[in-house]
Amino acid sequence: MILMNVGKIIATGLLLGLGLTMDACAVSMANGLEEPKMKLSKMTFIALMFAIFQAFMPLIGYAFGAALYQNVPFIEKYKIIPILALIILMCLGLHMIIEGIKESKETPKERDSKIEALGKKLTFKLIFIQAIATSIDALSTGLTFSDYSIINAILVVSLIALVTFIFSFVSLMLGKKFGTWLGNKAIIVGGIILCFIGIEIFISGVFF
C-alpha cells in the first residue's frame, strides 16, 4: 500500500510537471530561436529559473490549501479536494488547449512578432518575467494535492521542477535548431495531460 501511494505521488508529480512545463517549453523554443548562439551557461540558467518558479508557485498553493484542509473539517468529509482538482485542472487544461489551437492559426508574421517580443534582449529581468509568466497558472495546482503531507508535497514539486528543467533545456536546444514549430503542439499536449490528471484525481478521490 505504501509503495502504491509513493508510486501515485511520483506519477502525479511527473504528470503535473509534464503538463505545466509546456508553456515554458514554448517560450524556451522562442528564446532559442531568437538567440541561436546562446551559451550553455545561459541555457542552464533559463531552464533553472523556469524550474524554480514552476515548483515554487504550486508550493504556495499547497501551503494555503493544506491550512484549509487541516482546519476546515467539511473539506475532507465532502471530498472537496478531488472536486477542486477536477475544476482547476480542467480549466487550466482547456485554456492551454484553446491557446494552442489559436497559436496554430497564427500567420508567420504574427508568430515572428511574438517571438521577437519574447526573445528580444534576453536579460535577467526578461528571463525573470518569463519565469513568472509561465508559472503563474501553476499556483492553483498546489490546491489539488493539499491533502498530501509536507514531505509528499515537496516530492511532487521537486519532480515538477526536474521535469521543467529538462524540458525547458531541451526546448532551448530545439528552438536554436528548428525554431518554434513544436510550440503550439506542446501546449495542446500539456492541456490534455492536465485534463487527464484532473479526471483521474476526481475519480480516485470520490469513488475509491
Range scoring the smallest mean pLDDT among 67-76, 110-119, 165-174, 176-185: 110-119
Residue 76 in grid coordinates: 475532507
pTM: 0.82
How many CB atoms neighbour CB 167 within 10 A? 24
Residue 22 in grid coordinates: 509546456
- Whether 100 shows a pLDDT value over 70: the answer reads yes
- The alpha carbons of the chain give a radius of gyration, in whole angstroms, of 18
Which of 8, 3, 45 is closest to 130 using CA atoms?
45
- Whether 17 shows a pLDDT value over 70: the answer reads yes
Which of 119, 90, 115, 80 is closest to 19 using CA atoms?
90
| Per-residue pLDDT tens over the stretch 189-208 | 889 999 999 898 888 877 75
| Per-residue pLDDT tens over the stretch 27-52 | 898 888 878 888 999 999 999 999 99
Residue 91 in grid coordinates: 480549466
What residue spans of 72-140 are helical by DSSP H?
Answer: 74-77, 80-104, 108-119, 124-135
Main-chain phi, psi angles of 35, to 5 degrees: -130, 75
Mean pLDDT of 95-116: 74
Every domain of the chain and the residues it spans: 74-114+134-208
d(CA 81, CA 5): 17
Main-chain phi, psi angles of 198, to 5 degrees: -60, -45
Residues 6 or more apart whose Cβ sits within 8 Å of residue 148 = 9, 62, 66, 156
**What is the per-residue burial (b if ≥16 Cβ within 10 Å, else e) of 90-118?**
bebbeebbebbeebeeeeeeebeebbeeb
| Per-residue pLDDT tens over the stretch 72-84 | 776 765 678 888 8
